[in-house]
Amino acid sequence: MPELRWMAERVCNVPSFIKNTTTLFRLGKRLADNEPLEECDLICAKGYMGTVFSLDENLVVDIKNYTHNDGFAHLEPLSKTFKDIETYDDLVRTYRTGQSLQLLDRTGTRVIVTFEAGQWALIKFSPEYRAYMVPASS
């Protein structure tokens, strides 16, 4: 998923320092206790990144790497992506209480990897390009 985001940023000439999930996990701004999760925020772990697509419909866009699955992008409900996670409220509660997160295969039936507390994070979307914006000349 970082590669897809990176490609979109390059096409739109949006500068970014995030090149992979390791960099995103290390440098991304974590969801604070007083912050709400918003659409476009990120779910990040080694080899996995998902984007909050719809809070109302509990949909996530993600790419599970080849080790974890097939390497293709998917738009799926949270319940088919993570074990015992039905809603984004469930996901935020799991994150804030320091629980593990179990990633399901693309059929949503088998756990393919478990990310222990501290190995996964909710990252706030931050459009890095703001620092590069130049006011339009009149």
17-51 pLDDT, tens digit each: 555 666 677 777 899 999 999 998 999 988 788 89
> Does the model's pTM come out above 0.85?
no
Position with higher pLDDT, 15 vs 81:
81
Total Cβ atoms within 10 A of residue 77: 16
Phi-psi region of 124 (alpha: psi -120 to 50; beta: other; left: phi over 0): beta
Domain coordinates of the chain in residue numbers?
2-127
**Cα dihedral sign for 109, 59, 98, 120?**
positive
pLDDT digits (tens, 9 = 90+) for 81-137: 999 999 999 999 999 999 999 999 888 899 989 999 999 999 998 765 443 334 444
